[in-house]
Chain A
């Protein structure tokens, strides 16, 4: 519309070495995600950057703006800036928190741009065109089902929870539902805050408190690292295995190598951001319909299938 846009588009086209014919139709996709403040978010940032770089090669007619925010307020600013200065045709957003991000994303949708929401949903339904959802309840359920199958005679387990949030509650509910009636008893549950050091301390205290712990649901791979170190240091051999979650490469590697303490892992892939960006790009450049909800299921990683979940180059 404006000169600005043409100049921008032209500059991008030249930068990409694409032919000038494409310049007319260059569309901008804004990607707004939380900053890499913990392991999972780091992995998500890695996949976002990698996908953007790859898609800029594949689609010369697309341009990407990637912004990472350290809190919800900054993310709102990022999105406002994208609309005001980059005239985005589509927004891919992984909301920091649902409530504060709902009005600004709604405004983007009202302006006619395509909106893709990833992982955490918005507070109001029907704003987004595409929702790439993580399944937190399913994450807990798959973990619980695995525990139940691995311990057919039941047993005593301790659970480490994440930072107190809705996400954490949904996971624990899913887990508790899945182990109901299996004879597995949760004897202790504390918050390890998705943090290695915190979970190390919590696990040390669990080991002092209980003489017999059959297994641990660490519910996260970072927490599993702390738990394993605590068990190791205490020299206890009553704990048969530790189940983490998310799919950190070190843990996937241990599953792949047949480590008996880490017999399995449950995915909550940070690469779901790649799915969202890719589908948005397809939607903008082709006739293929991509509107709707796409749920990324949580999958059980076992030694048999671990290889396909192992990304040695990712930081997570």
Chain B
């Protein structure tokens, strides 16, 4: 039955399966719709805007791809990003009188973000692997903790980077090389490294093995706990990197920073074809997922076709459609 359908569908062409094509088709379709609806859509400015603002979720989603592939989940990344942003701002403001405005203080801020990210990721990973608590519960807990901590640090208001420091740091979001802004460059680098690690390196295979069947992986000499722990630490590191790009944009962090980033990252990972239960992951697919989500928002803002009250509904429909498209194809192919 199955092979028949496949044969009749695929006879005479050597195209990749729909699970590969599905997300790409959805993305192409969105780009075509966008271009038809608004002539500015394909302008360099708009493309830069969309890619740069996708970078935060995108960088985080690459890390999330590894966590989900290894059979885990992390709900805390949005709050973690807000907390790290707040911490970074506090440290940089505190160091300002002694260090002054300059490259060293920016590097200090970046170091704080990276170290805090790795530590936060390790803490999640430790509680999940060594203590053996469900990932959903651990990260739900840490999500609440980081969100409260940033509210507390900000005294319920907004933490703002010193004005002079912000002006100095601002180019990290807005400038770049050859007209390509830094967040896009960093995002691209993270994706390329992530894709290589996922599909070519031993660590990627260990993640897939762990997520697919823990016991089999264990007997195949994969250190399951260590693999999982590293995925969470890696995700924490990438949250730190995303925060380094985020802080120079508006120079502030508050309790409303990074709200629902975790769900956007998870949605992007799943749209991209990674299996939510683990065992199979695709970093390039995640990138497509992130771009699909950003483009929907962008297109809805650029046109007046739909009432803004319905933006969420449109997004929901497209997410579900993108996944159905793959599921159908997988069942057949």
Measured CA separation A225–B256 after assembly (Å):
14
A45 engages B302 (CB within 8 Å) = no
Interface residues on B, range: 20 to 34
A191 engages B249 (CB within 8 Å) = no
Residue of B nearest to A315 (CB): B157
B301 engages A202 (CB within 8 Å) = yes
8 A Cβ contacts from A233-253 to B: 233-234, 250
A114: chain B residues within 8 A (beta carbon): none
State whether the Cβ of A143 lies closer than 8 Å to any Cβ in chain B.
Answer: no
State whether the Cβ of A205 lies closer than 8 Å to any Cβ in chain B.
Answer: yes
CB distance from B164 to the nearest CB of A (A): 15
A37: chain B residues within 8 A (beta carbon): 151, 255-256
State whether the Cβ of A190 lies closer than 8 Å to any Cβ in chain B.
Answer: yes
A209 engages B302 (CB within 8 Å) = yes
Interface residues on A, range: 35 or more
State whether the Cβ of B38 lies closer than 8 Å to any Cβ in chain A.
Answer: yes
State whether the Cβ of B1 lies closer than 8 Å to any Cβ in chain A.
Answer: no
Measured CA separation A35–B41 after assembly (Å):
40
Taking a contact as CB atoms closer than 8 A, the residue among A35, A161, A205 that contacts B301 in the complex is A205
A45: chain B residues within 8 A (beta carbon): 156
A42: chain B residues within 8 A (beta carbon): 154-158, 254-255
A229 engages B308 (CB within 8 Å) = no
Say what secondary structure dominates the interface of chain A. Answer: helix
A46 engages B40 (CB within 8 Å) = no
B45: chain A residues within 8 A (beta carbon): 207-208, 234
State whether the Cβ of B298 lies closer than 8 Å to any Cβ in chain A.
Answer: yes
State whether the Cβ of A7 lies closer than 8 Å to any Cβ in chain B.
Answer: no
CB distance from A178 to the nearest CB of B (A): 22
A38 engages B308 (CB within 8 Å) = no
State whether the Cβ of B250 lies closer than 8 Å to any Cβ in chain A.
Answer: yes
Taking a contact as CB atoms closer than 8 A, the residue among A209, A226, A229 that contacts B38 in the complex is A209
A208 engages B160 (CB within 8 Å) = no
State whether the Cβ of B43 lies closer than 8 Å to any Cβ in chain A.
Answer: yes
A204 engages B49 (CB within 8 Å) = yes
B254: chain A residues within 8 A (beta carbon): 38-39, 42, 196
Taking a contact as CB atoms closer than 8 A, the residue among B49, B158, B309, B311 that contacts A315 in the complex is B158
A38 engages B302 (CB within 8 Å) = no
Residue of B nearest to A43 (CB): B157
Measured CA separation A18–B292 after assembly (Å):
65
State whether the Cβ of A316 lies closer than 8 Å to any Cβ in chain B.
Answer: yes
Taking a contact as CB atoms closer than 8 A, the residue among B40, B250, B252, B255 that contacts A209 in the complex is B40
State whether the Cβ of B297 lies closer than 8 Å to any Cβ in chain A.
Answer: yes
8 A Cβ contacts from A285-316 to B: 314-316
B43: chain A residues within 8 A (beta carbon): 208
A38-52 interface mask toward B, CB cutoff 8 Å, 1 = contact, 0 = none? 110111011000000
A66: chain B residues within 8 A (beta carbon): none
Supplied contacts A39-B157, A208-B45, A209-B40, 13 more A-B pairs, CB within 8 Å: A36-B155, A37-B151, A41-B156, A42-B156, A42-B157, A42-B255, A164-B309, A190-B308, A196-B252, A200-B53, A208-B41, A208-B46, A315-B158
- 19 A-B pairs whose Cβ atoms sit less than 8 Å apart in the complex: A36-B156, A39-B157, A42-B155, A42-B158, A42-B255, A46-B157, A164-B309, A191-B308, A196-B252, A201-B49, A201-B297, A202-B301, A205-B302, A206-B301, A208-B38, A208-B43, A315-B154, A315-B158, A316-B157
* Nearest 5 CB-CB pairings of A with B: A36-B156, A315-B157, A42-B156, A205-B301, A42-B157
